Structure 1
């Protein structure tokens, strides 16, 4: 479960935000009410009621297959793009990683790079299948692996964390990886000086 979202004051309940976020941040997939209830740790009847409201509002489409009700983001809605952007900012990788990374000792800076950062910067493309994270500092690799696993559970996507030292980050020299990362959009999660 996600920490308290900044979007929550606009929504009726935390469950509604989590349901919308899961559906809109995985628009390529249809989910049954049963799957969503299990993932969101809620009852099927509660998820079904929320889904009824979202379908009625034109934000979610449904398909019936026998007894199974499948839900998917309705990307034809005029609100779809803006809603997906707001949900990505409040429930997506940046929000999840901003909760998980700052408490880890040795994280001086952290950035999302790759396809998630490119989508945030406005580059067109399909929903990213994974999240690439650059951590600057001397954080323990096992601690970062724990963060990656926790983030994967919350996001439903693979999270790849690459760590570099502060010295390497400040003077990348001829490191082709860092040259490539710096040449593309970066989305800051933890910036130098953000830590208490």
Structure 2
């Protein structure tokens, strides 16, 4: 399974990099929150200096509010900027699945792992193609269907597109050769949301 962040953005080609898309989506889709640079660096598995450079550019453009609390720099979306609302809508359609599902799924009881796969993961991995029309998620674990349905509904509301969640047991995931679909998912580009390194 491919989990490596690509150098160019196929989800939103206007952006310089997928990191910028992930960072902006996370901040804009959680507008009530402040995030420290070390916290963001850990979340996206990059250096603090990489996050700091992006933060400087976003703050200069007035897209994020940057403030210091002691020696800790905090970022949050800048709601006064008229570009933030439409930009948030675009980010929800492109990089939103990472920000929304990585926030919702860890709270689902019994969930061990979760992966984005299908057309969204293919675009994220750099494969050319049309924008994804839906979001496909594979979850691993002993999860109640109603909990998954609730998470899918919440994600669909935030992302403005269908979210399809496919559940498999940990045993099925460990021995995918029994299921051609799981073999295909493992061989295809995928993005780890919960429980596995990106």
Q: TM-score range by the shorter chain?
A: 0.5 to 0.7
Write the distance in 2 (CA, Å) between the matches of 1:187 and 1:141: 22
Q: Which residue of 1 aligns with 2:79?
A: 13
Given the alignment, which residue of 95, 99, 102 partners 2:99? Answer: 95
Aligned CA RMSD, in angstroms, stands at 2.5
Given the alignment, which residue of 153, 178, 181 partners 1:177? Answer: 181
Q: What's the secondary structure of 2:132's corresponding residue?
A: coil
1:22 aligns with 2:26: no
Given the alignment, which residue of 137, 157, 169 partners 1:153? Answer: 157
Write the distance in 1 (CA, Å) between the matches of 2:150 and 2:108: 10
Write the distance in 2 (CA, Å) between the matches of 1:102 and 1:177: 24
Q: Which residue of 2 aligns with 1:110?
A: 114
1:187 aligns with 2:191: yes
How many residues are paired up?
Answer: 130
The structure 1 segments of at least 4 consecutive aligned residues displaced by more than 2 Å after TM superposition are 1-19, 23-26
- Give 1:171 shift: 1.1
Write the distance in 2 (CA, Å) between the matches of 1:104 and 1:187: 18
Q: Which residue of 2 aligns with 1:127?
A: 131
Unmatched 5+ stretches in structure 2 = 1-27, 36-54, 56-63, 65-74
Q: What's the secondary structure of 1:162's corresponding residue?
A: strand
Write the distance in 2 (CA, Å) between the matches of 1:5 and 1:128: 30
Q: 1:182 to 1:23 in 2, by over 3 A?
A: same
- Give 1:5 shift: 7.8
Q: What's the secondary structure of 1:102's corresponding residue?
A: helix
1:143 aligns with 2:147: yes
- Give 1:127 shift: 0.9
- Give 1:13 shift: 2.5
> Which residues of 2 match residues 32-47 of structure 1 at below 5 A?
none
Q: How far does the alpha carbon of each residue in 1:42-88 deviate from its partner, in whole angstroms, 9 at most, with x for none?
A: xxxxxxxxxxxxxxxxxxxxxxxxxxxxxxxxxxxxxxxxxx6xxx1
Unmatched 5+ stretches in structure 1 = 27-83
> Normalising to structure 1: TM-score of the pair?
0.59
Write the distance in 2 (CA, Å) between the matches of 1:165 and 1:113: 17
> Normalising to structure 2: TM-score of the pair?
0.59
